[in-house]
């Protein structure tokens, strides 16, 4: 059985900090005590809601089994989102992209995901 991918979006500033630290954590992650992740189906909504107007954004893809254990918690509209209660090591990313914003400032997701 193939495991599902989960995704982490980071601003350029957050990515620079992640490269130095070896793990990714946004201010929201630090405040909430866990790393917020998205499934593929949730990714566009996360990009639009939290990253519009932030300029270029880094997208990291992880194998959900490789960073387990994930816990699933309710968020927007009761949808369950993956949360990681451990450091998100950027070296475990399966793929990474720089996302440029569209005319409305929303990051454009890569076609291959």
Residue 72 lies in a domain: yes
Mean pLDDT of the chain: 94
Both structure tokens of 32: 């909430």
Residue 112 lies in a domain: no
Residue 55 lies in a domain: yes
Residue 68 lies in a domain: yes
Residue 75 has pLDDT above 90, yes or no: no
Residue 46 lies in a domain: yes
72/62 Cα distance (integer angstroms): 16
Domain count along the chain:
1
- What is the CATH number for 34? 3.20.170.20
Residue 100 is predicted with a pLDDT of 98
Q: What is the DSSP string of the chain?
A: -PPPEEEEEEEHHHHHHHHHHSEE--HHHHHHTSEE-B-HHHHHHHHHHHHTTS-SEEEEEEETTTTPPEEEEE-GGG-EEEEESS-EEGGG-SEEEEE-B-TTSPBPPPTT-
- Structural domain harbouring 85: 5-99
Residue 111 has pLDDT above 80, yes or no: yes
Residue 17 lies in a domain: yes
What confidence category does residue 77 fall into, taking pLDDT thresholds of 50, 70 and 90?
A: confident
pLDDT digits (tens, 9 = 90+) for 21-61: 999 999 999 999 999 999 999 999 999 999 999 999 999 99
Residue 21 lies in a domain: yes
Residue 58 lies in a domain: yes
Residue 76 has pLDDT above 70, yes or no: no
């Amino acid at each position: 059985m193939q495991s599902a991918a989960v995704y982490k979006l980071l601003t350029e500033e957050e990515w620079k900090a992640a490269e130095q630290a070896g793990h990714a954590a946004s201010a929201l992650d630090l405040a909430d005590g866990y790393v917020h992740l998205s499934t593929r189906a949730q990714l566009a909504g996360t990009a639009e809601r939290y990253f519009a107007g932030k300029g270029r954004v880094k997208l990291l893809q992880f194998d959900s089994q490789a960073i387990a254990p994930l816990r699933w918690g309710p968020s927007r509209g009761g949808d369950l989102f993956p949360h990681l209660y451990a450091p998100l090591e950027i070296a475990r990313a399966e793929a990474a992209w720089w996302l440029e914003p569209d005319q409305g400032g929303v990051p454009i997701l890569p076609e291959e995901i």
